[in-house]
Amino acid sequence: MRHLTAARPPNGVSFMAQTNILLETGTNELEIVEFYVNQDGYEAHYGLNVAKVVEIGRRQPVTAMPEMRHKALLGAFLHRNGRIVPLIDMACFLGNAPITNEDAKVIVTEFNGVCTGFLVSGVNRIYRLSWTDVEAPGQFLQNMSRSSVTGVVRLEERVIFLLDLEAIVAELHPAMALRFDASDMAAPDGKTYKILHVDDSSSIRSLLLDLLNKEGRFKVEQRVNGQEAWDYLQSVRNRCEAENRPVSDFLQGIITDIEMPAMDGLALCKRIKEDPVLKKLPVAIFSSMINDSLARKCALVGADAQYTKPDLKALSKKLYELITVAWEQQNATAKS
């Protein structure tokens, strides 16, 4: 595993501007910022994807928020960009005493279009690594962490747990959780299309499966990371070649997250679009991290659409359009 170190950014200065690190698109790499939380006399180490970090600074005075149902939700503070940002004490969330050290840090993140602050005991360094270095958490770890851990990174001297920020925020403040509503989605036209959905979050997989089943336009096959999805697609490709049939006879579209152990969504999309058989499949990227920079990366690997969670209605509509256009083109080619 390769890693790069970075000095702690000055308080109040954009974290992303300080890293000065550029990742190649579709290379299955990520960068994580390691932080620690003092828990009962020892330091527990965790990691966040740098792509979600806006800034790292000092602790800010907070104002209590209505309906603060969990002691870890400390209140909200005014961020320098003018946003009101809720602050979560990570030690309290993990079941320990509140963080009180004077040099504590606040990691301001942005995902799903929402800014959230996480109070931590300290920040160590940045690591650049491959998603193949990230292990999926076992069922025991998922149960113990209330599904808040999405990956495990083993270093020489310690283990870093990658956190599912969306799950943490949803648990602490249900009003900020992802919610999908199928009530005003278009009615099916009588056809059902088979799609592959790839996401390492069990809650997202369940929500998406439930909604798309209610909608009635798609039959959903699911995998938990890009590598498992690629293995499945290889079996589809082999069947296409063995039976001399187009890939659309077996699968019509793909929805994939970006952040996943083993292989991320950008690397998966790049492989699909470089494959002479699979490249005809429409690929829609559905992630909490979509911004202008990541939208460009999605385009570079050939993604046909990209949407930010929780905009599943728009994603479903666009994927349906892409599939029907591809279907019509295939039929026109077959007749000519």
State residue 126's pLDDT score. 92
CATH assignment of 15-176?
2.40.50.180
Alpha carbon dihedral 107, 111, 116, 117, in 10-degree steps, equals -10
State residue 96's pLDDT score. 86
State residue 215's pLDDT score. 78
**φ, ψ dihedrals at 273, nearest 5°:** -75, -15
- Residue 108 near residue 102, CB atoms below 8 Å: no
Tokens at residue 318, please?
Answer: 């666009």
β strands within 257-336, DSSP E? 283-287, 305-308
pLDDT tens for 234-267 read 999 999 999 999 999 999 999 999 999 999 999 9
Domain ranges for the chain, please list them.
Answer: 15-176, 193-335
Residue 66: asked if its preceding bond is cis (omega within 30°), the reply is no
- Residue 69 near residue 88, CB atoms below 8 Å: no
Residue 228 and residue 256: Cα distance in Å, rounded? 12
For the chain, 336 residues long, give each residue's pLDDT as a single digit of tens: 444 334 344 344 444 434 444 456 678 888 999 999 987 778 899 999 998 898 999 998 999 877 767 888 899 999 887 888 999 999 998 888 999 999 999 999 988 778 899 999 999 999 999 999 998 887 777 767 666 788 899 987 789 999 888 778 777 766 555 555 555 555 556 678 999 999 988 878 888 888 887 778 889 999 999 999 999 999 999 999 999 999 999 999 999 999 999 999 999 999 999 999 999 999 999 988 777 778 889 999 999 998 877 677 788 888 888 888 877 776 666 555
Beta bridge partners of 49: 32
**φ, ψ dihedrals at 284, nearest 5°:** -115, 125
- pTM of the complete model: 0.78
Read off the amino acid at residue 82.
G
State residue 334's pLDDT score. 59
pLDDT tens for 277-328 read 999 999 999 988 777 778 889 999 999 998 877 677 788 888 888 888 877 7
CATH assignment of 193-335?
3.40.50.2300
**φ, ψ dihedrals at 215, nearest 5°:** -65, -40
